[in-house]
Amino acid sequence: MEYNETKSSIDSHSVKLSQHVKIDIGSTFSIVSCSKHRLPDLVSAVDNLVEKGWSITSGLTSDDGLVFQGMSKFSKDEELSKQKKRVKV
């Protein structure tokens, strides 16, 4: 895999929700991270994102005292396209 150090045009940023929860968020994928000692804060953050249309995309993982949860969000057009593909047999 080749790494390109030029600045990406993809709109992504980090949002610190509290002292213990941070979200690295892009237009369709995000990673929520939280101290392993504050799991209720992680649950609350993930619940809030789900209410805003985000979906959990992977299992929970942990490293160096932090817990991480991946989430994704698709446009309504992409969701409709996926649903149509699932219906076709």
Could you tell me if residue 36 is inside a domain? yes
pTM: 0.69
Residue 25 lies in a domain: yes
Q: How many independent structural domains does the chain possess?
A: 1
pLDDT digits (tens, 9 = 90+) for 12-33: 788 888 889 999 999 999 999 9
* Contact (CB, 8 A) for 73 and 28: yes
Range of the domain at 42: 13-87
Q: Which of 11, 21, 83, 8 is nearest to 49 (CA)?
A: 21
**Beta strand 29-35 with 55-56: parallel, antiparallel or unpaired?**
unpaired
- Per-residue pLDDT reduced to its tens digit, 38-76: 999 999 999 999 999 999 997 899 999 999 999 999 876
**3 state SS of 87:** helix
5 falls within a domain: no
- Do the domain assignments include residue 7? no
Any domain includes 77: yes
Question: Could you tell me if residue 71 is inside a domain?
Answer: yes
CATH number of the domain within which 40 lies: 3.30.200
